[in-house]
Amino acid sequence: MASQDVSTARALLNGFLENAGTGSVRTRYFAESEEQDARLALCRLLRSKDPLDRQLRNHLANLFDPDPLEWEPRQIKLAFRRRGRHPDPARATKIAMRVQEQVRNNIKVTDAIAVAAAEFSLDDEAVRKVWAASRVLLKQYRG
């Protein structure tokens, strides 16, 4: 399975050879509709505890390299997955920690939310949503 994942991931990152019909070969890349399985194979390799194949590591580095070798035609561009406002996990964590701190000091949750809302220039409803989404995680990590 791992060796199949390595070859699939290599094909995703670097393309693969295909018969050009004239007795020669050409490099082909997965079409967007074909990429999902290859992406999942790469994810399995990256998340594995096993060492990462050196050639695969080089292929990844080449995609990120701002000064690529002449024969490296592709690059990776980082972009948001969705349009519109994007979550800010660090800010949400600070807000939730502020509410938690107030609650630990025997302040009612509604009052703690109001304090955090004033400090972070948000309305109470926005802080309430952050608190609802974060409090279980905070409890697991901070007790």
Residue-by-residue DSSP string for 74-106: -------SSSS----HHHHHHHHHHHHHHHHTT
Determine the 3-state secondary structure of 8 from DSSP. Answer: helix
Structural domain spans, the chain: 2-64, 89-142
Q: Which of the listed ranges 68-72, 123-127, 136-140 does the model predict with the highest average pLDDT?
A: 123-127
Which of the four pLDDT bands, split at 50, 70 and 90, describes residue 71? Answer: confident
- Over residues 89-119, the pLDDT tens digits come to 889 989 998 998 999 899 999 999 999 999 9
For the residues 56-85, what does the mean pLDDT come to? 85
Give the span between the Cα atoms of 124 and 126, in whole angstroms: 6
Left, alpha or beta for 112 (phi > 0: left; psi -120 to 50: alpha)? alpha
Determine the 3-state secondary structure of 27 from DSSP. Answer: strand
Instruction: Using alpha carbons, list the distances in angstroms from residue 70 to 15, 51, 61, 64, 67.
Output: 16, 29, 14, 14, 9
Give the span between the Cα atoms of 99 and 43, in whole angstroms: 36
